Structure 1
Amino acid sequence: MNDGWISDEEERTPQVTPVYSQTFGRGGGRGRGGYGENRRARGFNSRGNSWRDEGNSGGNTQRDGGNIGGNTWRDGGNSGGNIWRNEGNSGGNTWRDEGNSGGNTWRDGGNSGGNSWRNGDENITTLAVKKNNVGRIIGKGGSKIRDLESESGARIQIGKPSDEDYGMTVEVTLTGSEDCRQTAKRLIEELTDDSAPRSYGGNSNSGNSYNVEEPQEEKPRYIDFAEANRAYEEAQKERWAQLPPLKKNFYIEDPAVAAMLPEEVANFRKVNNNITASYALGQSPENSPIPNPVQTFEQCFSEYPEILTQIYNQSFTKPSPIQSQAWPILLKGLDLIGVAQTGTGKTLAFLLPGLIHTDLQPIPRSQRGGPNVLVLAPTRELALQIEKEVKKYNYRDIKSVCIYGGGSRRDQVNIVKQGVEIIIATPGRLNDLVQAGVIKVASVTYLILDEADRMLDMGFEPQIRKSLLDIRPDRQTVMTSATWPEGVRRLAQSYMKNPIQVYVGSLDLAAVHSVTQRIEMIHEDDKIARLFEFLHDMQPDDKVIVFVGKKARADDISSELSLNGVSCQSIHGDREQCDREQALKDLETGDVRILVATDVASRGLDIMDVTHIFNVDFPRNIEEYVHRVGRTGRAGKTGEAISLFTREDWSQAHELIVILEEANQEVPHELYDMSQRFSAWKEKKNEDRGQGRGGGRGRGGGRGGGRPRW
């Protein structure tokens, strides 16, 4: 069928019935297509594409007679015209040029999937490009190769890796006039030259050009580290020499203490809960023996009557074991590591020497440039507890402030700017105010790291180190801890100079002996009923802290008690700071007798008259159990701790048995059985793991393993 755009020759040629047909042409003069005009006739097969142009002189023709999947361009142009003809097979591409004089010819007789070019007029230039440089030529999404073709006027074809050099180079074919090919060659060589500066970006008109100079090889520069260290030390000495002078020794030894024989000292330490004192880092100066312990308050503070008066007001009868040995050491200006159980008076052991240290410095307080005493504590509750102890001993108008997250930052900053001598802080808020320039730790001469093991467990070591970068090196440092793990030892080596370690009892973990510990074996579903039974049987003068493992459980239990008309309070990390403080205050004053808490209340809280600890959920590690138990039986009083133990807690059984046996407490037979079963299960699991490496979990395996069968 002739639609008016097909020539007679085309009419005689068999045509495939088209799905649809589009013909584009422009009649510019004589004949169909006219001089200098191009005409395309498109007759689509089911899969092939056809373009055919029978243009006259100067016209270009594309003709496609491709087979299935093949593309054909054929140009039968007259003189000066260009011809492309494709006779490709399935999947193959063919370009054939039968142009007359002045015409260019390309012919491809490629097989399936193969491409080849033949140049009858030698208008092809071939380049060998390193394989790893091909990406520079192509660019993102082919953008660079299009820019190169546009700028040079040549056609650029990327071939396959060459087999001659094991695929290390790729053949790049340039097609076009001599000038175009030379321009394209120059651009590609500049682009792939590793020794030349590169320009990244779009074309030259885009305005985006980034020149990257290749790094020049430089000879390694010799660094004299010995000289660098010497210069650093000199600079530090010059810096610290500008600080006010520091006095640390305020101890006047009582004659009776000085006259104690070594046998008397050893006997006193033994009968007072086995006190041990030694230089912690293995360095024992010949001219600096460890001071003898004091037996009375008067032997230590007779020269400081105001301190004695404050002590008498608290109704204490004699120093605790840690205090009797720590006070002489600290008043003498030595560094101290105090390791003792909770509730043994560690706070007062470092606080009273700190007050004397602050008051008797040779420089007036107004000229010191900041606080003298810095106390770091792991939790808000412990920090507030320490501040409360400081306020009990009103000595020479020494001011203090407690800074912690959750409190008003503006109020804390204002108090610091007004001038304080003692700062009690949590690591996070201290780091915040130090970085803001509000607190300058260079003025600190008496540093206390309280509950250092807990601070490390909570991940505060980076904040501690960052905050103390500018603290003066000749300060006096005190560290307290309930345990002596490797992390605490490392911290002591970093911040202390030849410290004396004083520990009461054993370095092994132990609970206070003034607390009766009861372990009840129970199923998980029966815990709440057992708790309510215990609370129902409480005496009028009893106070109890109920410890749970999750914040949501603390809220649930306190809500359930309130709905049943039982007055109680709760404390955990998600409660507002004012609510947490109010909860502790209500328990202390007796407004409530039940406090439901997570482990945020397990350390440092000194609440009077707590008679019972009830562990609904056994803690995840045995250290927290010891600290929970230590919330009762404080200051010479007795207490009782009841812990519910389920089969999910069996991994803690062995360590719990050690704690109970050390304190001469009753150990349930079920706990021994559970410990043995867990040890056997763990041993079998390790054997199976060693035999079955590389396999899956196997039958009966998986996470959690087996539980004990009762």
Structure 2
Amino acid sequence: MEESRTYNRTNFRSSRGRNNFGNNYNSGREYPKNNDNVTIMVPSRCTGRLIGRGGSKISELQRNSNAKIIISRDDIDGERSVSLIGDDSAIEKAKSLIYEIVNSTDQRPQRNFRETREYSPVRKFSPPPPQNVPNEVPMMRTSYVRSTVVTPSVTTAPEPVNWDELREEADRYQKEKLAQMTPIKKCFYEELPEVRDMSENEVKEFRINRNNICVARTFEDPSGKSKPIPNPVKTFHQAFHNYPEILHEIEKAGFTTPSPIQSQAWPIMLSGEDMIGIAQTGTGKTLAFLLPGLIHINGQITPIEERNGPTVLILAPTRELALQIEREVKKYYYKGFKSVCVYGGGDRREQIKIIKEGVDIVIATPGRLNDLVEAKILNVEEVSYAVLDEADRMLDMGFEPQIRKVMYQVRKDRQTCMTSATWPAGVRRLAQSYMVNPIQVYVGSLELAAVHSVTQTIVMIPDDPNEKFQRFLEFCQNLQPNQKAIVFCGKKLTADQVSSELAMAGIDYQVIHGGIEQSDREQAILDISDGTVNILIATDVASRGIDIDDITHVLNYDFPHNIEEYVHRVGRTGRAGRTGDSISFFTRGDWAQAEELIKILEEAGQYVPEELSDMCARFTQWKKRKEEQGTYRGQRSRW
């Protein structure tokens, strides 16, 4: 029995001239001398994956196959030879593993891998002498070489996807699934005679006087069978006279009159219609969809204990807004309904525990919701009341794929509500996809506008960080103990720098941005809410979702990159019928926003600084020159 030889890197370097295999990667295993030697050719681009980091992958392949694997250094027409040494079963196993890696790297049809098999010298034999050769010619001993070709499987071009057929199949599947489910009830509204008998002029006058409420069907109904839009209600009793517990909860909260959007939204939502609510921030949109949702849960045919999942699903773009909605839900104790707020950064185990105990309302951010749905922890098939809150912000943050994925699993006959501060094309697209003949309610105008209860002041300053901070420091020192301010910075780094300077100046504050731990973010909201501090430094993560009624000032330390974000920042003050002040530092680098800012200021009847108008005119001229030169890209420019 012949001795075994341990092949290591040194041995193969010394024998490179004999075996012509180049560099060798191996794990130091022992291989018998009498094994077969097979060479296959693989694409050069795949060798990196075959070797792995530090040779880890090729070592794993050798362990799993019990074959010796040697990869050549030489590149021949984009291919490299890989030599396999071992018995037949080991070689076949190694080939299978290598082909699997190669095919996963190269997704095109499988290549024609060339293979040659050479028996080891021990198996040499003498073939019969050639014919017509004299017997005195000695026979030659030679190696028998057998060449084989691994024939690739024949692949054909994939057929084009028939999307219409797939949609029909999906619709058919959803209809079959819906037919097996218990029907849902959506109408819970009994219109009082005093509301029903309002004349058209009375309704029109009421809507105009309540901040110009505009109501219409969002999309044309070809059938013309749409039900008439309900008249607005003037009091809480007119909306919830059949639900004394709801009225009691409203009285406890201290509200006296419905807000404009509530007075029109409640009759629509309680009637079972889909609705799109468009109104400025701080106008009561959360309560507009929440109270009908509580009634909807209690009014379903299937008992709560028999439902396989929540009844109400509320999607929000940020964890702050989701937590704020949860706080709002907990204010209104109705029938002992349970809720949970699921969001990234929160305690996942605790969220799962609450879900498994049973919940009626789920408030969620799209990312964490998808995570729990895909993990089969949360079942949304029983959801019959869905809310997309701040839909425009969710689209801005890139959540449309997650929204579509979840909404596909929710039952199709649900009632859907969507709220937004603006009405961009993306929101219209979502409405067409997931709502049935919705009614659009907007307060004021569909044009972007800031709340009129806020005094907006634009402070023109040089682009000098030191002067900007000194102006800001003066503002903080002049802030009264009974006043509260949110200070918006454009970057996390700026927020940290500003907060550090305040700490050195001995001024109490809190800070919130995407780099802060979730527990610290929640503590920051709590501290500004209860008055522990009266200054909150934030990035745009807080421009929506912070619902603190007594914020008196908003200061834009850095002007936002788009005018929509400016509107939402301003909306953090002047909430719940209060007034507020917004102060914005505006520098030369912000001149691209001047034109849109002037429109917002003029619409709200605010003072427009002359320097801002001049800056707008100069930017327009600069932009025109760049467009003529073909170099304008719409970037945030400096001059």
TM-score range, shorter chain: 0.7 to 0.9
* 1:492 equivalenced with 2:406 (yes/no): no
Equivalent-residue separation in structure 2 for 1:403 and 1:222 (angstroms)? 36
* 1:317 equivalenced with 2:231 (yes/no): no
Q: Which moved more, 1:429-438 or 1:358-367?
A: 358-367
Where does 1:451-530 land on structure 2 (aligned, <5 Å)? Answer: 451-525=390-464, 526-530=467-471
Number of the residue aligned with 2:129: none
Per-residue deviation, 1:221: 12
Per-residue deviation, 1:203: 3.4
* 1:578 equivalenced with 2:516 (yes/no): no
288, 295, 315: which one aligns with 1:376: 315
Per-residue deviation, 1:232: 5.3
Decide whether aligned partners of structure 1 residues 703 and 661 sit closer, same or farther in structure 2, where only a CA change above 3 A counts.
closer
Number of the residue aligned with 1:282: 220
Q: C-alpha offsets along residues 620-655 of structure 1, whole Å, 9 cap, x if unaligned?
A: 000111011110000110000000000000000000
Is the 2:589–2:637 Cα contact (8 Å) retained in structure 1? no
Per-residue deviation, 1:235: 3.7
* 1:203 equivalenced with 2:144 (yes/no): no
Decide whether aligned partners of structure 1 residues 271 and 204 sit closer, same or farther in structure 2, where only a CA change above 3 A counts.
farther
Equivalent-residue separation in structure 2 for 1:208 and 1:421 (angstroms)? 66
Per-residue deviation, 1:341: 0.3
Per-residue deviation, 1:229: 6.8
Number of the residue aligned with 1:350: 289
RMSD of aligned residue pairs (Cα, Å): 2.6
Q: Which moved more, 1:232-241 or 1:519-528?
A: 232-241
Decide whether aligned partners of structure 1 residues 684 and 409 sit closer, same or farther in structure 2, where only a CA change above 3 A counts.
same
Equivalent-residue separation in structure 2 for 1:572 and 1:217 (angstroms)? 50
Per-residue deviation, 1:264: 0.8
Equivalent-residue separation in structure 1 for 2:636 and 2:540 (angstroms)? 27
Number of the residue aligned with 2:347: 408
Per-residue deviation, 1:673: 0.2
Equivalent-residue separation in structure 2 for 1:399 and 1:677 (angstroms)? 57
Is the 1:244–1:368 Cα contact (8 Å) retained in structure 2? no
Equivalent-residue separation in structure 2 for 1:202 and 1:490 (angstroms)? 59
Taking only the aligned residue pairs, the percentage that are identical comes to 58
Number of the residue aligned with 1:594: 535
Per-residue deviation, 1:142: 8.9
Per-residue deviation, 1:707: 4.0
Q: C-alpha offsets along residues 316-342 of structure 1, whole Å, 9 cap, x if unaligned?
A: 110000000000000000000000000
Equivalent-residue separation in structure 1 for 2:261 and 2:358 (angstroms)? 32
Equivalent-residue separation in structure 1 for 2:534 and 2:79 (angstroms)? 73
Per-residue deviation, 1:234: 4.2
Number of the residue aligned with 1:238: 176
- Counterpart of 1:321 in structure 2: which amino acid? P
**Count of residues in correspondence between the two structures:** 508
Q: SS in structure 2 opposite 1:212?
A: coil
Number of the residue aligned with 2:231: 292
- Counterpart of 1:439 in structure 2: which amino acid? L
Higher helix share: 2
Equivalent-residue separation in structure 2 for 1:259 and 1:702 (angstroms)? 56
Number of the residue aligned with 2:242: 303
Decide whether aligned partners of structure 1 residues 428 and 234 sit closer, same or farther in structure 2, where only a CA change above 3 A counts.
closer
- Counterpart of 1:211 in structure 2: which amino acid? T
Number of the residue aligned with 2:87: none
Number of the residue aligned with 1:258: 196
Q: SS in structure 2 opposite 1:401?
A: strand
Equivalent-residue separation in structure 2 for 1:216 and 1:269 (angstroms)? 64
Number of the residue aligned with 1:108: none
Q: SS in structure 2 opposite 1:519?
A: strand
Q: SS in structure 1 opposite 2:607?
A: coil
Number of the residue aligned with 2:590: 649
372, 375, 387: which one aligns with 1:448: 387
Per-residue deviation, 1:199: 5.5
Decide whether aligned partners of structure 1 residues 287 and 560 sit closer, same or farther in structure 2, where only a CA change above 3 A counts.
closer
Where does 1:522-561 land on structure 2 (aligned, <5 Å)? Answer: 522-525=461-464, 526-561=467-502
Equivalent-residue separation in structure 1 for 2:280 and 2:317 (angstroms)? 16
375, 390, 398: which one aligns with 2:337: 398
- Counterpart of 1:210 in structure 2: which amino acid? V
Higher CA-based Rg? 1
Q: C-alpha offsets along residues 2-61 of structure 1, whole Å, 9 cap, x if unaligned?
A: xxxxxxxxxxxxxxxxxxxxxxxxxxxxxxxxxxxxxxxxxxxxxxxxxxxxxxxxxxxx
With the length of structure 1 as denominator, give the TM-score of the two structures: 0.68
Q: C-alpha offsets along residues 657-701 of structure 1, whole Å, 9 cap, x if unaligned?
A: 000000000000000000000001100111122xxxxxxx8xxx9
Q: Which moved more, 1:323-332 or 1:241-250?
A: 241-250
Q: Which has the higher contact order (CA 8 A, sep 6+)?
A: 2
Decide whether aligned partners of structure 1 residues 444 and 559 sit closer, same or farther in structure 2, where only a CA change above 3 A counts.
same
Is the 1:382–1:605 Cα contact (8 Å) retained in structure 2? yes
Number of the residue aligned with 1:618: 559
Equivalent-residue separation in structure 2 for 1:249 and 1:576 (angstroms)? 43
Per-residue deviation, 1:704: 7.1
Number of the residue aligned with 1:333: 272
Is the 2:311–2:384 Cα contact (8 Å) retained in structure 1? yes
- Counterpart of 1:668 in structure 2: which amino acid? P
Per-residue deviation, 1:286: 3.5
Is the 1:335–1:477 Cα contact (8 Å) retained in structure 2? yes
Per-residue deviation, 1:287: 5.2
